[in-house]
Structure 1
Amino acid sequence: MASKDITTENSGPKLGVRHLQSILIFFGFCVAFMQRVNLSVAIVAMMDRNYTNPDFPEYAWSEQTKSLLLSSFFWGYFLVQIPSGQLAQRFGGKVMLLFSVGISGFLALLTPLSAQLGDWQLTCVLRFLQGFCQGSIYPSTHTLLAQWAPPAERGILATICFSGPQFGSIIILSISGILAASKYGWPSIFYISGGCGIIWSFVWLLWGADSPRRSKLITTKERNYIESALAVVSKSENNVTTAKLPTPWLSIFTSVPFWMLIILCSSYTWGYWTMMTQIPSYIKNVLDKDIQSNALLSALPYTANLVLGLCFCILAQVLLSAKVLSTNASRKIFNTIGMWVPMAAIIALGFVDVHRADLAVILLTVAVGTNSATFLGGFVNHIDLSPNFAGTLMGITNCAANVMSIIAPLVVGVIVTDTTNPNQWRLIFYIMALFYFIGNFVFITLGSTKLQTWNEPVKRDTNHEHIKDQAVTGDLEHI
């Protein structure tokens, strides 16, 4: 029976609506991150008359106020992580993703007005609400991928989706200076990013779908291919929808593979966001090279992340198709590339001579670029463990990871009291490397790609007197 299913899976269409869904999600992430990053790049023009059109207001905000404005998004984002996974499970990933990007886009359009009417206080509230809306993006995407991605294609479809943030960051970093200096001034940065979100929402409303069965575009052949491929690892009753499943909280929080995934995601976030937010300061203050003032250098790490992510994606698909690697081996090998190569680059960065700034930029680009290999590893492992509760699992891990994104800059502030001292920065790099090492080590040793027993629905008998667990365990290694 298993061989029949595998044959069915291998005979599926090479390109189809499942790829369209991933591309739409890619652009959804793209515009969402344009909206997330827009204030970070626009605030320079908003606070400095030399950077902007004199016809638009200038704000004399302090550095403390600036930090509050930039962090307000993430407080809203953090609060909704776990509930958003439950909402995506109940109402479907399509409507939650539509809500996340669409409402956030509308709020982005209102940002210039909020600054004029309510100064930084109202802008903080608006950014908090944007973060609150965008908190559903990752859980919703995992809920959608669980329904759309055949097990053998989870890596490639997930990589397409999760390359969107890098593309969005590249775009907003590249055009923000031009927009701020144009006759439309810094408000145009918010209008462009918000308008793109509104346009994407209409396209998603027309073409997006919660599952193959709900898509109006999909062919019968592709739908059968996806459903038969998913059936290999899930024996759920077809008439039991994910929305009706009680979340097995106790089983989730006593699952060793899931705890390894939490540690992995937290470690990844610590390292990644420290690199993206603090190392430019190191290169500027220690190596005397301001990459933030250079649009090309600012976008270079994101570009490397996007390009290498797609290259890793193709390589993984070739190796899986040729049966060179099992799914389990593929997840762990690519996750190792995505965390231990950056670990080595970051350690090396701490020993770069002050006169070798170009080498430092190269090492930073290598570190951020190879990070993208984790898209084929830990990023998709939530679906391996439990397709039915992938959104909830993503909400939990993203919640824990965002705690790390808050703590990491605070640790830098405590340790780096002199931003020109390379020895203090070297300690930061060692801490980052340690997080990368531990996160990947626990994943490759104790992590798993096995379908967990608590993924399957519970079935009540006709008298509703007891509950019988209909769980079954599958191993993606044998697909």
Structure 2
Amino acid sequence: MAHRRNSTNGDKYLYKGVKRSLSIENDVEKEYIFENEEDKVIVDQGPKFGKRYVEAILYFLGLFISYCTRVNLSLTVVAMTDPTANENKDIPTFNWTNRNVILSSFFWGYVIPQVMAGWLMTRYGPKWFMIGSVGIGSLVGYLLPPAAVYMGSMGVIICRMIQGFCQGFMIPAVPIFLSRWVPLSERGRICNFIYAASCVGTVFGMMISGSLSASLYGWPMVFHFFSTLGIIWCIIYAICGCNSPAESKSITAEELAYIEMTAIQSKKRLKTPWKGIFTSVPFYALFYTYTCFILGFWILLSQIPTYLNKIMKFDLKSNGFLSALPYIVQFVLSLLFSVISDYVTNRKILTLTSARKVFNCIGMIIPAISLIFLGYCTNATLGVVVLIIGVGTNSAATCSAFINNVDLAPNFSGVVQGIVNGFSNICGILAPLIVQVLVTDEENQVHWRRTFYLASAVYISGAIIFCIFGSGEVQPWNDDKKDEDSEEA
């Protein structure tokens, strides 16, 4: 039996036996098909805490472990190449001159699977791809210390390339989760919560890497520790995780119906609109802005430990904490910005497009100014404060660039994210190499200023382009009627 109800009266009808939900926002009539009349339940909103939040926590933890694995070498490589970093003389150290090449090697593998990963996970679901990503990357982490000893820097480069390739499936999975599990009214908060794993993972990864590298067990324990965390997460997610609400056996009927009613992803298999994507101005605005964010982010992330060590003269233990401190602030501010973003859009204070542009400017321009000041700081304490301001406010951009793919194309958010994240993270390869060219003397602050000027210019250009050409509206190619029933090419 089919029942049709206009949504303008303010009531929300949820059904325990939902078979299909065609949901359009902004007071457009919705159709619900359910099995029995007695299955109908009237509620004001979805459950306060439900399966979608459990899934969000699992995604957070998966991304958290991935970022720990991604960043641990930024600080550990200092201990691997410094004979005075550890009192235990049994811990091997190496005389490597290609440190920045080693740091960039992760991204050689990372950029390869992005578009393919987004397409595959959109079609088959992200669960087992994510488990394979973290699981294989963790196993390779166990092999990295012996590879360094017996194969030198080339062994480390190969291991990091494999880990990078595996992690190429993680970020494209997030927008697929958001489009399948998260209502529009909760999108900002849950999105920022998941992406905050990058801050928390960076903080935890750097602090633990610094402590373990300086401990009796030395730098090899860093890779063993994070690999073990990864294997544990794989087991938990294999048991508890689901690709979609309909697949979950533990979700309540009310929450399932609520998610189905507010779903923003089409239930039908649509042909990927490659032409629409690559001729879309808002897509290119997102692409450019995201690329600027990634380049600035990775210049900071990969070089902060070296900058604090060479310019600010902090030791390894202090370096780990101070390198992580800006990302602690970034995590806190990301949660604050996400709440504000949802508030101003849900209350119609700002349109979705305006909100995305405002938060993108905050997340790009303030860090740009901070980096310029950092290049002239001679006081170590003041330098750390400026660094905290720059990295902390950078989190505002996650309310824009990191979520805009779902705004533009909820049906193809994974594909869009794969394209954007894959090509933009070529900058992850370039960032350490650019620093190596610009900073020929790591103990000369004037050389570091060149790097900070470049990062500042990149950030500001990203803010300008998105303000002019960016959008928060769903694009026409997201749901092309002529392709509704077509199979994927």
Scaled by the length of structure 2, what TM-score is found? 0.84
Q: Quick one: distance in 2 between partners of 1:313 and 1:360? A: 27
Letter in 1 for 2:428: S
Q: Distance in 1 between matches of 2:466 and 2:373?
A: 24
Contact 1:207 1:217 in 2 (8 A): no
Q: Any residues of structure 2 matched to 1:42-441 within 5 Å, and which?
A: 42-52=76-86, 54=88, 56-64=90-98, 66-231=99-264, 236=266, 238=267, 240-241=268-269, 245-278=270-303, 281-282=306-307, 285=310, 293-352=318-377, 354=378, 356-419=379-442, 422-441=445-464
Query: Share of identical aligned residues, percent?
Result: 38
Measured after TM superposition, the shift of residue 385 of structure 1 is 0.8
Aligned equivalents of 1:396, 1:337: Cα separation in 2: 25
Q: Secondary structure at the match of 2:225?
A: helix
C-alpha distance in 1, partners of 2:226/2:434?
32
Alignment partners' CA distance in 2, 1:158 and 1:221: 22
CA shift for structure 1 position 143 = 1.4
Question: How far 1:163 moved relative to its partner?
Answer: 0.9
The answer to whether the 8 Å contact 2:357/2:466 transfers is yes
- Counterpart CA distance in 1 for 2:195 and 2:252 is 26
Q: CA RMSD in A?
A: 2.8
* 3-state secondary structure, aligned to 1:51: coil
Mean Cα deviation higher: 246-255 or 171-180: 171-180
2:46 counterpart of 1:12: yes
* Distance change (3 Å), C-alpha of 1:412 and 1:6: farther
1:11-30 matches, within 5 Å, as 11-30=45-64
Equivalent position to 1:444, from 453, 459, 467: 467
Is the 8 Å Cα contact of residues 179 and 186 (structure 1) preserved in structure 2? yes
Contact preservation (8 Å) 2:74, 2:302: no
- The answer on whether the counterparts of 2:74 and 2:305 sit within 8 Å (CA) in structure 1 is no
Shift of residue 226, structure 1, vs aligned partner: 1.7
| Cα pair 2:107 2:428 within 8 Å, conserved | no
Deviates more, 1:413-422 or 1:395-404: 413-422
**TM-fit CA distance, 1:160:** 0.9
- C-alpha separation in 2, matches of 1:397 and 1:142: 12
Deviation at 1:284, TM superposition (A): 5.1
The one-character-per-residue Cα deviations of 1:29-61 (angstroms, maximum 9, x if unpaired) are 111112222333333333444434647451433
1:318-358 CA-partner distances (Å, limit 9, x unpaired):
33444433322322222221112212222333443x2x332
User: In 1, Cα distance between the equivalents of 2:223 and 2:414?
Assistant: 29
Measure how far apart 1:179 and its partner are: 2.6
In structure 1, the partner of 2:73 is 39
Amino acid at match of 1:374: A
- Contact 1:283–1:291 (8 Å) recurs in 2: no
Does the 8 A contact of 1:104 with 1:130 survive in 2?
yes
Distance 2:336 2:74 in 1: 29
- Provide the secondary structure at the position in 1 that maps to 2:263: helix
After TM superposition, give the deviation of residue 90 of structure 1 in Å.
2.2
Match for residue 20 of structure 2? none
Following superposition, the deviation at residue 291 of structure 1 comes to: 8.1
- What is the match of residue 3 of structure 2? none
Q: How far is 1:247 from its partner? A: 1.7
| Alignment CA distance shift 1:182-1:159 (3 Å) | same
Deviation sequence 1:44-92 (CA, Å, 0-9, x none):
333444434647451433222x334332221111222222112212221
Q: Do the aligned partners of residues 427 and 182 (structure 1) sit closer, same or farther apart at CA in structure 2, a change above 3 Å counting?
A: closer
Which range moved further: 172-181 or 288-297? 288-297
Contact kept? 2:305, 2:319, Cα under 8 Å: no
Task: Provide the residue aligned with 2:8 in structure 1.
Answer: 3
User: 2:186 touches 2:342 (CA, 8 Å); kept in 1?
Assistant: yes
Aligned partner of 1:310: which letter? Answer: L
CA distance in 1, matches of 2:282, 2:308: 38
Amino acid in the other structure paired with 1:337: I
Q: Hey, what's the Cα distance between the residues in 1 that align with 2:227 and 2:380?
A: 36
Contact map agreement 2:104 2:433 (CA 8 A) in 1: no
Letter in 2 for 1:272: F
Q: In 2 relative to 1, CA 441–68 (structure 1 residues): closer, same or farther, beyond 3 Å?
A: closer
Q: Mean alpha-carbon deviation: is it higher for 157-166 or for 402-411?
A: 402-411
Shift of 1:405: 2.7
**2:460 and 2:328 mapped to 1: Cα distance?**
25
Task: Supply the AA of the counterpart residue of 1:199.
Answer: I
Mapped contact 1:82–1:392 kept (Cα < 8 A): yes
**Which has the larger share of helix?**
1
Residue 107 and residue 424 in structure 1: after superposition, are their counterparts in 2 closer, same or farther (change >3 A)?
closer
Could you tell me whether the CA contact under 8 Å between 1:5 and 1:228 is conserved in 2?
A: no
Matched residues in 1 for 2:402 and 2:243: separation?
Answer: 20
Deviation at 1:137, TM superposition (A): 0.6
